[in-house]
Every structure is written in structure tokens, then in C-alpha cells.
Amino acid sequence: MLLFFLQRSTLLLDPLYRRRCNVMLSTSPQKQPPISWERTAHLFRQLSGELLQEGISLESLYLLLQELRTAAHRSITLRKLFWRSNDMFPFLVPMLEDSLRSCQRPETNKADSLLLCTLIVQTLALMFRETEIEPARLNMLTAKQGALTARLLLALVCDPELQSQTQGSRRVSPDSRQGSPPHSELQGLFAEYLDAGCSLLFELVVLCQEASRTPSPEHFLTVGWILRILQPHPSLLSFVGYQARQVVVVLSGSQDPLSPSQAALLFQRCRVLLACLKYSSHLGQHLRTEYREEFRYYVKLPCVEEKLPPDYPISQPALRLVSQLLGLIIQKS
């Protein structure tokens, strides 16, 4: 809960995020009336029913998922209802698998697939927030020995250098221009997916760390379990390496302060990388071998402190994580 507060209170400093969450400034005399549980449940049933209907077009699917993501931003009730549904999580995981596979097929529009993948992952990440004590969440994630959770993990991780030829001209996003997007645009879309993927992996890592505090024979979800599932993935090293490089990039660039979203993502990336270093000797060795010199020469704590504004609630926790990460990466094996 504290992690959620730190991230949300930091992100709420961003006007765009505030609008997305429909949050009014405290000085505003207006206040949105709360929506009842019954009304939210009705809206969720309606939205999920439309998503699950057969023969839905790609554009309709995208628009409905956007609506679900927006609603999840604004309503903890909806996030709880998501986990209580027997259909939504099992629906989104295979959709993510299929959409990522389509990125590698030359006959499909890669931009469409990336937009959809990012939207799915962002939506799933939102569903974890403030739902720690929702029993249905743990039940869903641990069903059949975590089969769906394992599929999600394996689908989530992908090669950051994925280069597939894209054909076709239709774009799924209603406000996008027609025609095949240039390579630079595809790179930007893929970077957005990798950011979203790290955020969702962060939520899963935090879930496992919290579950480990109350050990039980039924709680097999641990960080070690996550990394064992991911161990055979052919793109694991490149995916984790990308996250490490992004930490270096964001901390070694200009001296401009980080935006609220950049600071929150930095915190998430550091938490994921620390988990890799602490719970996987294989990943730890890879990170130290490949990125020790970059961290040693480009990540300086005084500069990091300058880039994290003191009014961000997440700044001090992020600084501590960067310090821990730096210490573990540059240490000799």
C-alpha cells in the first residue's frame, strides 16, 4: 500500500495523469460524487461483456480496452471486480501472447500489435494497484499452480531488438495517421511497450515479495519462482539488460529533473533489477559483467539526487534503490 501511495502521489503531480484519473485539485470547489458499487458493477459487466463477444473488430477491441484502462485508473472497485471475474484475466493473457506473436509476422501491422500489447500490459498493471487484500486476486494468480501467471510472465518478456517487417496500412488507434509507420515511430512504440512491461513485472515482483512475508505452503509465488519461470526464456538477458541501460540513460543524460512519470518508472526499474541481482546468480552475473563499467562511470549519486526533485514523494526511496543497485552492480563477483 505504501508503494502505491508513493507512486500515485508522485504521478498526481503530473497534470496529464491527474486528468486521466479524473482527480480534482484540492483547492477546487468541485468534487466528483462517488459512483456506487452497484453502478460500477453494472458498468464492468457491460464493458467486459462487450470485450468478450465473438467477432469483435480490432479497433473496437482497442477502444474498449482503453475504456477499461481509464475506468481502472479511477476506480478501485472496478479493479477488485476485475479479479473477481472468471473471464477477464484469462482473456487478456492469451490476447497478449497472440499480439506479441503477431509482431513477428510480416503480413501483420506491427504498429497495431504494439499499441494493443502496450494497452493490455498497462491495463493489467493497473489492476494490481490497491488490490493486495482482494482474495480473488491471489486465487486467480495461483490457480492451477500459477499456470496463467507463468504464461503472462513468458509473454511479457521479449527481445528489445525485435525487428519484424511491417506491412499493411490500417492503424488501430483512431487518432493515428494512415500508412505504414516509419522505423523511428515503431521504435518509439516498442519503447513504450518495454516501459509498460517493466511496470507490470514490478507489480508481480512486489506481489511476490509481499506474499513471502506471510509464508504458507500455498504461497508458492515468490521472486525466485518468477525468475525460475523466466530462466529459459531466450530474451530474458536482453530484456533485463535493456532495463539496466535505461536506468543509465535516464540518470546520465542532461541535468534536467525527471518528470513524475520518469521518477516512478526509475523506481520500478531499480526494484526489478535489484530482485534480479538478489535472487538470480545468472542474471546477477550478467548485469555485473555487461553493465558494471557503465554504472561506475555514468551513475553518480550526487547527480541522481539533483535529478530527483525533493517534492516528489518517491524521490528519496528511488535514491536509496539507485544506491543499492549501484553497490550491487559495481561490486566484484
Q: Domain locations in the chain? A: 1-23+35-163+181-228, 235-333
**Single-letter residue type at 174:** P
**Single-letter residue type at 54:** E
- What does the alpha-carbon distance between residue 273 and residue 97 come to, in Å, rounded to a whole number? 24
> 110 pLDDT band (50/70/90 cuts)?
confident
Q: Using an 8 Å Cβ cutoff, are 172 and 62 in contact? A: yes
- pLDDT of residue 239 exceeding 90, the answer is yes
Predicted local distance difference test score (pLDDT) of residue 199: 97
State the residue for C-alpha cell 539488460: 241
- pLDDT of residue 127 exceeding 60, the answer is yes
CA angle 206, 72, 1 (to 5 degrees): 35
Predicted local distance difference test score (pLDDT) of residue 6: 84
Task: Return the higher-pLDDT residue of 292 and 1.
Answer: 292
What's the grid cell of residue 317?
Answer: 526511496
Predicted local distance difference test score (pLDDT) of residue 217: 63
DSSP, res 258: P
pLDDT digits (tens, 9 = 90+) for 65-101: 999 999 999 899 999 999 999 999 999 999 999 999 8
- What does the alpha-carbon distance between residue 33 and residue 31 come to, in Å, rounded to a whole number? 6
User: Please, is 304 exposed, middle or buried when counting C-beta atoms within 10 Å of its C-beta (0-12, 13-18, 19+)?
Assistant: buried
- pLDDT of residue 309 exceeding 60, the answer is yes
What's the grid cell of residue 6?
Answer: 508513493
